[in-house]
């Protein structure tokens, strides 16, 4: 009857949640505040206005047991600013993340870095005498793989966008 | 005709049918106060502390079902209101709190009396707004009332910069409002309701467990029909008392930490739990892993997030209590299937055995005044029909256990947040809403001192509240825990210097009566309630070390109660 009793199945999983919310001051802090107040964790969070500037689209990645994530979704749905929420994990969907990597690239390293970028279908988007700045997009696994491939190099800085997600097929979130 | 922002605020309140606003002035709201001065449709009640304003508005809302309205200034006005906002939030009480804000061009500059009111209140409101434009005032108020009063109700804060309240525009109040992001109307799922009815009819050891949601959702009538048509035992939470009459034999009283033996044992041994407008609070469930081990659980609640939050349920029904119960009642009355009479007879026999424990017994012959006795006598003298507010502590539990509420909205206390200081200001709100009804505040000598300044408000508005001070000289509930769990080390749970409450009441212009012997309890109450238009402060000197029984210690199950 109680969670504690069926703990055997209580595995923590990563969930990717897509949220359409009013593009209003404070909406983002309501979402973020909910996570800190209820001790849920946020792995990544991206937000920006949509084609309709009165709406923002947010993609949020969290980990937890099914029960916790169900509560997370219910509590998010309760926020007055949230127009629509979909747990993408429940269905087929696409995920993308973008990473920018500034890496040391001198002498023969310059070719090596270029080769790695090509393998991951990325681009060099800036360069200096001693560095390249790379851009790669893909799902999280691919982004992790790029970083692994560059392990032998000297990485100066990295910025990841956090995951974006969208359901597959013809239907939109509304 | 053009109106100022301040005048528009008043017009919005009028359009919403507001009769009272509880507030306290200050720089950021002076335009609004000026607008109040120029009209007399909406009456402003001047409290003595902003916390008092919020609790008074809250009490008004709990007693009437209408939203309570608060107006405070920026900075300290807003922060003083925080406790009352959180109190309302935890018990899902509809409230509109208007906070003044520094002028727009100063926001973010650490201006005089500036705080981020929207930020501070965010986690303790259903929603909040910062108005940026005088043109948005009317629509924001419409939205605020709509959000506060629909679905699972709650407080809404509207923060208004001062400059906006002076700007002038034409006023028009929206006739209706739609919000694409907020759609509170939910009707219970038919399939789940049918499954629930099926389980209800088959149950052998059923238990109905109801909470404040039945009262807030005005489902009391439906609950009575439902419970009586099934003939099942019912227990109510601290917040739910009165939805079903305590005097009905089907009622097992309150459940939870200080609930009755029969209610908690009944819960523990049930095979079907029918939870209605309740939220499985930790003070109700006891240790979760021991909670209702044999029961299938049906849960009816308007808030989907309440369902399966603490306890996983088998049949969730998301919907407003009253219409869901209407549907269920209709199905039950049409059903060819009967309840299991033989099993129920056995179940009731078992329950009556638990009942025979008489878990609420206390020493009725004591010469020292027993707090329970005062509450029982209060019940008699008010015919069980008074509005009773309370503070927090032992006296609150004694009130809940011994007053026996037969009607909804009569028992007014801070269950979720447990806010000492709630009782007196809440009683003011109730008395203003119902000037001809009897309103009593059951309190303790510690709690009453947290908002004692409101005695002055009561004088100003002639509010004849009766204060029942169960004065044990201790923060009784704290002392009880220290007695049980800290080997009687009574750290900081008493005051060395209590005021003379009679003199105190008199200095505020009220009547004070001190009562020291059991034999004087009844006459003192009679004397007090005869004074229909006076506030009477009854200071009952009670047994210093009386405890609240029964009790479920933290970490124990509902079947592991400590009895007297
Ligand atoms: C604002 C606030 N501070 C502290 C507490 C913790 N607390 C709960 S009960 C209690 C003692 C209340 O004493 P009193 O009002 O005398 O009532 P009694 O228990 O003696 O009946 C305290 C301090 C609280 N509930 N609220």
ipTM: 0.90
Is B113 within 8 Å of B27 (Cβ atoms)? Answer: yes
- Give the Cα separation of B255 and B263 in Å (integer): 5
Cα of B305 to nearest chain A Cα, Å = 5
Is B469 within 8 Å of B501 (Cβ atoms)? Answer: yes
Tell me the per-residue pLDDT of B60-86, one tens digit each, with 9 for 90 and over: 999 999 999 999 999 999 999 999 999
pTM: 0.96
Q: Specify the pLDDT at position B127.
A: 98
Tokens of B383: 């015919």
Q: Specify the pLDDT at position A4.
A: 47
pLDDT(B526) > 50: yes
Q: Please, what is the average pLDDT of chain B?
A: 97
Tokens of B548: 């609240």
- Give the Cα separation of B64 and B51 in Å (integer): 20
Q: Specify the pLDDT at position A8.
A: 47
- Give the Cα separation of B7 and B166 in Å (integer): 9
pLDDT(A6) > 70: no
pLDDT(A7) > 70: no
Q: Specify the pLDDT at position A3.
A: 42
Residue A107 burial (C-beta neighbours within 10 Å; 0-12, 13-18, 19+): exposed
Q: Is the dihedral of CA B4, B10, B13, B17 positive or negative?
A: negative
Pocket test for ligand 1, best of B419, B420, B493 (most atoms within 8 A of CB): B420
Q: Specify the pLDDT at position A10.
A: 77
Pocket test for ligand 1, best of B372, B375, B402, B446 (most atoms within 8 A of CB): B446
pLDDT(B334) > 90: yes
- Give the Cα separation of A103 and B344 in Å (integer): 76
Ligand 1 lined by B449 (C-beta under 6 Å): no
Q: Please, what is the average pLDDT of chain A?
A: 92
Tell me the per-residue pLDDT of B239-272, one tens digit each, with 9 for 90 and over: 999 999 999 999 999 999 999 999 999 999 999 9
SS3 B379: helix
For the CA of B396, the nearest atom of ligand 1: 21
CA of B479 from ligand 1 middle (Å) equals 10
Cα of A78 to nearest chain B Cα, Å = 8
Rounded to 5 degrees, what angle do the CA atoms B420, B425, B428 make? 150
| B547: alpha, beta or left? (left if phi > 0; alpha if psi -120 to 50) | beta
What's the whole-number mean pLDDT along residues B111-135? Answer: 98
Percent of chain B at pLDDT > 90 equals 98
Q: Specify the pLDDT at position B564.
A: 84
* Residue of A1, A21, A35 to mutate, interface with B, max B Cβ within 10 Å: A1
What's the whole-number mean pLDDT along residues A45-73? Answer: 95
Say how many C-beta atoms besides its own lie within 10 A of residue B526's C-beta.
11
């Amino acid at each position: 009857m109680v969670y504690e009793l069926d703990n055997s199945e209580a595995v923590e999983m990563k969930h990717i949640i897509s949220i359409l919310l009013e593009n209003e001051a404070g909406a983002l802090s309501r979402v973020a505040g909910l996570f800190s107040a209820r001790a849920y964790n946020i792995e990544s969070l991206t937000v920006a206005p949509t084609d309709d500037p009165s709406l923002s689209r947010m993609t949020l990645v969290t980990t937890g047991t099914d029960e916790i994530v169900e509560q997370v979704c219910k509590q998010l749905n309760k926020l007055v600013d949230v127009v629509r929420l979909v747990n993408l994990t429940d269905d087929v969907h696409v995920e993308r993340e973008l990473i920018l990597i500034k890496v040391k690239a001198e002498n023969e390293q310059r070719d090596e870095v270029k080769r790695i970028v090509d393998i991951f279908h990325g681009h060099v988007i800036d360069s200096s005498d001693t560095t390249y700045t790379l851009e790669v997009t893909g799902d999280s696994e691919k982004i992790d793989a790029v970083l692994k491939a560059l392990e032998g190099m000297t990485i100066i800085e990295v910025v990841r966008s956090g995951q974006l997600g969208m359901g597959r097929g013809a239907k939109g979130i509304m | 005709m053009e109106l100022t922002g301040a005048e528009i605020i008043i017009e919005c309140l009028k359009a919403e049918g507001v009769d009272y606003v509880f507030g306290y002035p200050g720089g950021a709201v002076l335009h609004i106060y000026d607008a109040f001065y120029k009209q007399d449709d909406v009456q402003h009640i001047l409290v003595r502390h902003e916390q008092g304003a919020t609790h008074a508005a809250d009490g008004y809302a709990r007693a009437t079902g209408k939203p309570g309205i608060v107006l405070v200034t920026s900075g300290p006005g807003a922060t003083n209101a925080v406790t009352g906002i959180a109190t309302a939030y935890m018990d899902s009480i509809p409230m509109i709190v208007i906070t003044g804000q520094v002028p727009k061009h100063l926001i973010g500059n650490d201006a005089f009396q500036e705080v981020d009111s929207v930020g501070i209140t965010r986690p303790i409101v259903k929603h909040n707004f910062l108005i940026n434009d005088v043109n948005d005032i009317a629509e924001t108020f419409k939205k605020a009332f709509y959000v506060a009063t629909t679905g699972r109700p709650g407080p809404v804060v509207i923060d208004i910069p001062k400059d906006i309240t002076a700007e002038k525009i034409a006023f028009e109040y929206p006739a209706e409002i739609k919000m694409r992001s907020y759609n509170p109307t939910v009707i219970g799922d038919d399939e789940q309701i049918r499954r629930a009815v099926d389980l209800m009819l088959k149950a052998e050891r059923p238990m109905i467990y109801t909470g404040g949601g039945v009262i807030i959702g005005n489902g009391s009538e439906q609950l009575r029909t439902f419970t009586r048509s099934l003939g099942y035992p019912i227990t109510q939470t601290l917040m739910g008392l009165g939805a079903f009459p305590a005097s009905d034999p089907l009622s097992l009283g309150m459940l939870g930490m200080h609930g009755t033996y029969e209610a908690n044992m009944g819960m523990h041994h049930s095979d079907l739990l029918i939870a209605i407008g309740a939220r499985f609070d930790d003070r109700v469930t006891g240790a979760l892993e021991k909670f209702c081990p044999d029961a299938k659980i049906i849960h009816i609640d308007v808030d989907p997030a309440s369902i399966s939050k603490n306890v996983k349920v088998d049949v969730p029904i998301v919907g407003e209590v009253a219409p869901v119960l209407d549907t269920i009642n209709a199905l039950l009355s049409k059903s060819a299937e009967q309840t299991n009479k033989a099993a129920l007879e056995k179940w009731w026999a078992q329950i009556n055995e638990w009942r025979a424990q008489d878990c609420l017994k206390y020493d009725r012959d004591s010469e020292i005044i027993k707090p329970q006795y005062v509450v029982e006598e209060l019940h008699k003298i008010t015919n069980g029909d008074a509005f009773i507010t309370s503070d927090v502590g032992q006296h609150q539990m004694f009130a809940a256990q011994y007053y026996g509420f037969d009607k909804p909205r009569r028992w007014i206390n801070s269950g979720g947040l447990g806010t000492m200081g709630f009782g007196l200001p809440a009683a003011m709100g109730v008395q203003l809403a119902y000037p001809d009804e009897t309103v009593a505040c059951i309190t303790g000598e510690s709690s009453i001192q947290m908002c004692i300044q409101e005695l002055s408000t009561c004088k100003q508005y002639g509010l004849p509240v009766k204060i029942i001070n169960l004065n044990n000289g201790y923060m009784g509930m704290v002392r009880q825990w220290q007695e049980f769990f800290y080997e009687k080390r009574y750290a900081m749970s008493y005051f060395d210097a209590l005021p003379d409450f009679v003199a105190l009441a008199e200095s505020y212009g009220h009547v004070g009566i001190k009562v020291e012997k059991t034999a004087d309890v009844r006459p003192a109450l009679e004397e007090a309630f005869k004074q229909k238009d006076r506030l009477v402060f009854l200071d009952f000197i009670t047994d210093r070390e009386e405890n609240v029984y029964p009790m479920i210690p933290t970490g124990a199950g509902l079947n592991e109660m400590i009895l007297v």
